[in-house]
Protein backbone atom coordinates (compact mmCIF):
# COMPACT_ATOMS: atom_id res chain seq x y z
CA UNK A 1 0.00 0.00 0.00
CA UNK A 2 1.21 3.49 -0.89
CA UNK A 3 0.99 6.75 1.01
CA UNK A 4 0.20 10.01 -0.79
CA UNK A 5 0.84 13.16 1.29
CA UNK A 6 -1.65 15.90 0.47
CA UNK A 7 -0.91 19.46 -0.59
CA UNK A 8 -4.16 21.42 -0.88
CA UNK A 9 -3.70 24.85 -2.43
CA UNK A 10 -5.93 27.89 -2.03
CA UNK A 11 -4.96 31.49 -2.66
CA UNK A 12 -1.40 30.39 -3.36
CA UNK A 13 -1.04 28.86 0.12
CA UNK A 14 -0.95 25.31 1.43
CA UNK A 15 -4.13 24.84 3.47
CA UNK A 16 -6.44 22.23 4.95
CA UNK A 17 -10.21 22.38 5.17
CA UNK A 18 -12.53 20.62 7.58
CA UNK A 19 -15.18 18.57 5.76
CA UNK A 20 -14.48 20.55 2.62
CA UNK A 21 -15.80 23.73 4.23
CA UNK A 22 -13.97 26.75 2.79
CA UNK A 23 -14.85 28.76 5.90
CA UNK A 24 -12.98 26.25 8.08
CA UNK A 25 -9.52 26.67 6.65
CA UNK A 26 -6.15 26.26 8.33
CA UNK A 27 -3.07 27.64 6.56
CA UNK A 28 -0.15 25.26 7.12
CA UNK A 29 2.36 26.84 4.76
CA UNK A 30 2.68 30.06 2.82
CA UNK A 31 4.65 28.18 0.16
CA UNK A 32 3.03 25.04 -1.33
CA UNK A 33 6.10 24.29 -3.44
CA UNK A 34 8.30 24.22 -0.35
CA UNK A 35 5.75 22.00 1.38
CA UNK A 36 5.64 19.60 -1.55
CA UNK A 37 9.45 19.41 -1.45
CA UNK A 38 9.34 18.63 2.28
CA UNK A 39 6.91 15.74 1.80
CA UNK A 40 8.78 14.48 -1.26
CA UNK A 41 12.11 14.42 0.56
CA UNK A 42 10.50 12.17 3.18
CA UNK A 43 8.50 10.09 0.71
CA UNK A 44 11.25 9.63 -1.91
CA UNK A 45 8.96 7.71 -4.28
CA UNK A 46 5.31 7.53 -5.28
CA UNK A 47 3.18 10.66 -5.68
CA UNK A 48 2.19 13.84 -3.89
CA UNK A 49 -1.57 14.45 -3.96
CA UNK A 50 -2.27 18.05 -5.00
CA UNK A 51 -5.69 19.71 -4.93
CA UNK A 52 -6.50 23.06 -6.50
CA UNK A 53 -9.22 24.28 -4.14
CA UNK A 54 -9.76 27.52 -6.06
CA UNK A 55 -10.06 25.58 -9.29
CA UNK A 56 -12.63 23.25 -7.77
CA UNK A 57 -14.93 26.25 -7.39
CA UNK A 58 -14.10 28.18 -10.57
CA UNK A 59 -14.07 25.14 -12.85
CA UNK A 60 -10.59 25.78 -14.27
CA UNK A 61 -7.07 25.04 -13.07
CA UNK A 62 -5.71 28.02 -11.16
CA UNK A 63 -2.29 26.60 -10.22
CA UNK A 64 -0.54 25.64 -13.46
CA UNK A 65 2.43 27.88 -12.63
CA UNK A 66 2.81 26.19 -9.24
CA UNK A 67 2.55 22.73 -10.82
CA UNK A 68 5.35 23.57 -13.25
CA UNK A 69 7.60 24.67 -10.39
CA UNK A 70 6.84 21.51 -8.42
CA UNK A 71 7.58 19.36 -11.46
CA UNK A 72 10.85 21.17 -12.17
CA UNK A 73 11.94 20.24 -8.64
CA UNK A 74 11.72 16.57 -9.60
CA UNK A 75 8.55 15.90 -7.62
CA UNK A 76 6.03 13.40 -9.00
CA UNK A 77 2.41 14.29 -8.36
CA UNK A 78 -1.23 13.84 -9.20
CA UNK A 79 -3.57 16.81 -9.30
CA UNK A 80 -7.28 17.50 -9.15
CA UNK A 81 -9.66 20.42 -8.73
CA UNK A 82 -11.40 22.28 -11.55
CA UNK A 83 -10.18 19.95 -14.28
CA UNK A 84 -13.22 19.69 -16.53
CA UNK A 85 -11.99 19.84 -20.14
CA UNK A 86 -9.52 18.13 -22.47
CA UNK A 87 -7.64 21.41 -22.76
CA UNK A 88 -7.12 21.63 -19.01
CA UNK A 89 -6.12 17.96 -18.78
CA UNK A 90 -3.49 18.53 -21.46
CA UNK A 91 -2.35 21.68 -19.68
CA UNK A 92 -1.69 19.96 -16.35
CA UNK A 93 -0.09 16.92 -17.96
CA UNK A 94 2.25 19.26 -19.83
CA UNK A 95 2.95 20.88 -16.44
CA UNK A 96 4.21 17.51 -15.24
CA UNK A 97 1.22 15.74 -13.69
CA UNK A 98 1.62 11.97 -13.53
CA UNK A 99 -2.10 11.50 -12.94
CA UNK A 100 -5.07 13.80 -13.47
CA UNK A 101 -8.06 13.62 -11.14
CA UNK A 102 -11.52 14.30 -12.56
CA UNK A 103 -14.51 14.65 -10.27
CA UNK A 104 -17.44 16.84 -11.26
CA UNK A 105 -16.82 16.05 -14.92
CA UNK A 106 -17.80 12.40 -14.50
CA UNK A 107 -21.44 13.34 -13.89
CA UNK A 108 -21.67 16.43 -16.09
CA UNK A 109 -19.75 15.08 -19.09
CA UNK A 110 -18.92 11.35 -18.78
CA UNK A 111 -17.68 11.25 -22.38
CA UNK A 112 -14.81 13.48 -21.26
CA UNK A 113 -13.53 10.65 -19.04
CA UNK A 114 -13.78 8.17 -21.90
CA UNK A 115 -11.98 10.41 -24.39
CA UNK A 116 -9.29 11.48 -21.94
CA UNK A 117 -8.65 7.89 -20.87
CA UNK A 118 -8.10 6.94 -24.50
CA UNK A 119 -5.68 9.81 -25.16
CA UNK A 120 -3.78 9.65 -21.86
CA UNK A 121 -3.94 5.98 -20.94
CA UNK A 122 -3.47 5.20 -17.23
CA UNK A 123 -3.26 8.89 -16.32
CA UNK A 124 -6.95 9.58 -15.71
CA UNK A 125 -8.33 9.05 -12.21
CA UNK A 126 -11.87 9.75 -11.03
CA UNK A 127 -12.63 11.17 -7.58
CA UNK A 128 -15.79 10.09 -5.81
CA UNK A 129 -16.52 12.51 -2.97
CA UNK A 130 -19.50 11.55 -0.85
CA UNK A 131 -21.43 12.87 2.13
CA UNK A 132 -24.00 10.75 3.99
CA UNK A 133 -24.13 8.23 1.17
CA UNK A 134 -24.53 10.71 -1.68
CA UNK A 135 -21.96 12.06 -4.13
CA UNK A 136 -21.15 15.78 -3.95
CA UNK A 137 -19.66 17.78 -6.84
CA UNK A 138 -18.29 21.25 -7.65
CA UNK A 139 -15.81 21.40 -4.81
CA UNK A 140 -18.13 19.41 -2.54
CA UNK A 141 -20.62 22.29 -2.58
CA UNK A 142 -23.38 20.64 -4.61
CA UNK A 143 -25.05 17.39 -3.44
CA UNK A 144 -26.46 14.87 -5.90
CA UNK A 145 -28.82 11.92 -5.56
CA UNK A 146 -26.35 9.31 -6.81
CA UNK A 147 -24.62 6.98 -4.37
CA UNK A 148 -20.83 6.43 -4.46
CA UNK A 149 -21.43 2.75 -5.15
CA UNK A 150 -23.58 3.51 -8.20
CA UNK A 151 -20.98 5.91 -9.51
CA UNK A 152 -18.11 3.48 -8.90
CA UNK A 153 -19.88 0.87 -11.02
CA UNK A 154 -20.11 3.36 -13.91
CA UNK A 155 -16.53 4.58 -13.84
CA UNK A 156 -14.71 1.42 -14.94
CA UNK A 157 -16.69 1.41 -18.20
CA UNK A 158 -15.47 4.95 -18.93
CA UNK A 159 -11.84 3.85 -19.03
CA UNK A 160 -10.48 5.53 -15.89
CA UNK A 161 -7.53 3.80 -14.26
CA UNK A 162 -8.40 4.39 -10.60
CA UNK A 163 -10.97 5.76 -8.15
CA UNK A 164 -10.17 8.09 -5.26
CA UNK A 165 -12.88 7.77 -2.64
CA UNK A 166 -13.23 10.59 -0.11
CA UNK A 167 -15.71 10.57 2.75
CA UNK A 168 -16.44 14.27 3.20
CA UNK A 169 -17.65 14.05 6.78
CA UNK A 170 -14.40 12.32 7.77
CA UNK A 171 -12.12 14.75 5.95
CA UNK A 172 -10.10 16.92 8.31
CA UNK A 173 -11.97 15.68 11.39
CA UNK A 174 -9.12 13.55 12.78
CA UNK A 175 -11.58 10.83 13.85
CA UNK A 176 -10.66 8.06 11.42
CA UNK A 177 -11.81 7.19 7.88
CA UNK A 178 -15.08 5.65 6.77
CA UNK A 179 -13.67 2.16 6.27
CA UNK A 180 -17.00 0.47 5.59
CA UNK A 181 -18.05 2.73 2.73
CA UNK A 182 -14.55 2.58 1.27
CA UNK A 183 -14.80 -1.21 1.26
CA UNK A 184 -18.24 -1.08 -0.42
CA UNK A 185 -16.91 1.25 -3.13
CA UNK A 186 -13.88 -0.99 -3.70
CA UNK A 187 -16.08 -4.09 -3.90
CA UNK A 188 -18.29 -2.47 -6.54
CA UNK A 189 -15.49 -1.83 -9.06
CA UNK A 190 -12.59 -3.72 -10.63
CA UNK A 191 -10.48 -0.56 -10.42
CA UNK A 192 -7.91 0.04 -7.66
CA UNK A 193 -9.14 2.46 -5.02
CA UNK A 194 -7.37 5.22 -3.11
CA UNK A 195 -8.85 6.02 0.32
CA UNK A 196 -8.99 9.65 1.39
CA UNK A 197 -10.35 11.49 4.41
CA UNK A 198 -9.92 10.97 8.12
CA UNK A 199 -6.55 9.26 8.60
CA UNK A 200 -5.61 10.54 12.06
CA UNK A 201 -3.27 8.04 13.69
CA UNK A 202 -0.85 5.21 13.04
CA UNK A 203 -3.61 2.86 14.13
CA UNK A 204 -5.69 4.19 11.23
CA UNK A 205 -2.77 3.31 8.96
CA UNK A 206 -2.73 -0.24 10.35
CA UNK A 207 -6.47 -0.61 9.75
CA UNK A 208 -6.21 0.96 6.29
CA UNK A 209 -3.60 -1.61 5.28
CA UNK A 210 -6.17 -4.35 5.96
CA UNK A 211 -8.26 -2.95 3.10
CA UNK A 212 -5.69 -4.10 0.54
CA UNK A 213 -7.69 -7.33 0.37
CA UNK A 214 -10.55 -5.36 -1.19
CA UNK A 215 -8.43 -3.51 -3.75
CA UNK A 216 -7.61 -0.39 -1.73
CA UNK A 217 -3.91 0.13 -2.41
CA UNK A 218 -3.32 3.82 -1.62
CA UNK A 219 -4.16 6.24 1.18
CA UNK A 220 -4.06 10.02 1.12
CA UNK A 221 -2.97 11.72 4.34
CA UNK A 222 -3.10 15.44 5.04
CA UNK A 223 -3.94 17.01 8.36
CA UNK A 224 -2.34 14.28 10.51
CA UNK A 225 1.03 14.94 8.85
CA UNK A 226 0.70 18.71 9.19
CA UNK A 227 -0.12 18.36 12.89
CA UNK A 228 2.86 16.00 13.38
CA UNK A 229 0.64 13.23 14.72
CA UNK A 230 2.97 10.86 12.92
CA UNK A 231 5.65 11.10 10.26
CA UNK A 232 5.74 9.80 6.71
CA UNK A 233 8.60 7.50 7.76
CA UNK A 234 6.51 5.99 10.56
CA UNK A 235 3.56 5.45 8.25
CA UNK A 236 5.69 3.91 5.51
CA UNK A 237 7.19 1.46 7.98
CA UNK A 238 3.72 0.09 8.68
CA UNK A 239 2.65 0.07 5.03
CA UNK A 240 5.74 -1.81 3.89
CA UNK A 241 5.42 -4.56 6.49
CA UNK A 242 4.35 -7.95 5.14
* Catalytic residue ranges: 8, 129
Helix (H) or strand (E) holding 219, with range, is: strand 216-221
Taking the C-alpha atoms of residue 169 and residue 198, their distance in angstroms, rounded to an integer, is 8
Among residues 100, 96, 95, 105, the alpha carbon closest in space to that of 120 is found at 100
Cα 82-153-199 angle, rounded to 5 deg: 60
In sign, the C-alpha dihedral spanning 105, 111, 112, 117 is: positive
| H or E, element range at 21 | strand 21-29
DSSP 159: T
Element (H, E) at 58: helix 53-58
Amino acid sequence: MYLLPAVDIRGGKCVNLIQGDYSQETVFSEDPVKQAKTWWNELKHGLIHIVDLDGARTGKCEIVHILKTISSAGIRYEVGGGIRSLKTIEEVINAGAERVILGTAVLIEPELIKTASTIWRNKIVVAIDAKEGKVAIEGWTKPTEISPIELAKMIADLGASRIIYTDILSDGMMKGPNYQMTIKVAQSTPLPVTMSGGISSLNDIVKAKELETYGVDEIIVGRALYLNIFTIKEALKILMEN
